[in-house]
Structure 1
């Protein structure tokens, strides 16, 4: 089994671009472009207002952790817009809702704080990847109450706070365009109301035409 050896980070993207990854980039011809990216602007470490707004609009995300043995685990997290909360320009928090009581994510974070948050906006074909560390908070009922979405039928058990170390925005290639059912329903309702309005106008014009002909 390959032993995991931490490497020194010079650029924020080094959190993902390990020496092995960079070697593969060189072998496959993409290293020069990524080296220019690192020198010119690179990945950001601070959660900008635009990214914070994107995070808090999400209703479905994927949260990845790793066990003490190096086994990765990805868990779906969902809730109404705002269930993910940006506390400051480096911190993201959410209430851990009661579920199947396996506690894999919580257990992994005890052994290994490394975490990853993957967010996809299918409607606008945009995705953001966030690397960092996370911790479980079991003894802060005030923070848990603050993070619980209003009128949402779920029971919060604990809080998970993630400290973002780097983030990147992917291109929209290969992201299928999908829409939220509520947004589709609202658009159809607006269409039907407009059709009814136009039909009423046509009926009125017909009535007026018939009256003038008489």
Structure 2
């Protein structure tokens, strides 16, 4: 690849960009440095705040598959500037992602923060690690009630952040609950103060 974005901007993609008038802008972006190829501090902060991510793989027949993975914030960890990792918890035991990665290591992570209307796309390769209890212990979120089955390590090739256009704004239930609890506590405090002032008056 000449540019990191070539991982997604294939000749066919560039031809369509040219036909639709966006190639010049993307060519300028490429020449100015374009997409990142390692994990920056800002990306690390974003990654480790996520509670939900999507892992895309494809099998030997090039059939794509997207798998949701979730857990407490920090379940997807930055191991170094090139490597991400997470514990793969026991689930429905279909092992589609594992089988795909055995055939084809190319993979993709899609992270979306609905509250701040931000999404990150990460291209790379991934592999399954079985039987490494030390690695599981390093990556397992503390006190999380799930059974570890294996680990998936993801090597970053390139990443890009999308614009917020068309992302609906949604909030985590826990964040909403905390905000409502703070509001209710404030209302209770004000009502108590009002009752005190009335009693005095």
TM-score class, shorter: over 0.9
CA distance in 1, matches of 2:109, 2:145: 24
Shift in Å, 1:208? 1.1
* TM-score of the two chains, using structure 2 as the length reference: 0.99
Which ranges of 4 or more aligned residues in structure 1 deviate by more than 3 Å? none
Query: Alignment partner of 1:57: what SS?
Result: coil
Matched, 1:189 2:184: no
Structure 1 residue 72 corresponds to structure 2 residue 72? no
How far did 1:15 drift?
0.2
| Residue number in structure 1 paired with 2:11 | 19
| 2:139 is the counterpart of 1:147 | yes
In structure 2, distance between residues paired with 1:162 and 1:66: 15
1:56 is aligned to: 48
Structure 1 segment 1-214 matched on structure 2, within 5 A: 9-209=1-201
Aligned to 2:160, what secondary structure does the other structure show? strand
Secondary structure of residue in 2 paired with 1:190: helix
Residue in 2 that maps onto 1:212: none
The structure with the larger Rg is 1
TM-score where L is the length of structure 1: 0.93
| Post-superposition CA distance 1:50-76 (Å, at most 9, x none) | 101110110011000010110000000
Secondary structure of 1:179 counterpart: coil
* CA distance, structure 1, for counterparts of residue 175 and residue 38 of structure 2: 31
Instruction: Say how many residue pairs are matched.
Output: 201
- CA–CA distance in structure 1, aligned partners of residues 62 and 38 of structure 2: 27
Aligned CA-pair RMSD: 0.6
Q: What are the ranges of 5 or more consecutive residues in structure 1 without an aligned counterpart?
A: 1-8, 210-214
Question: What runs of 5+ residues in structure 2 fail to find an aligned partner?
Answer: none
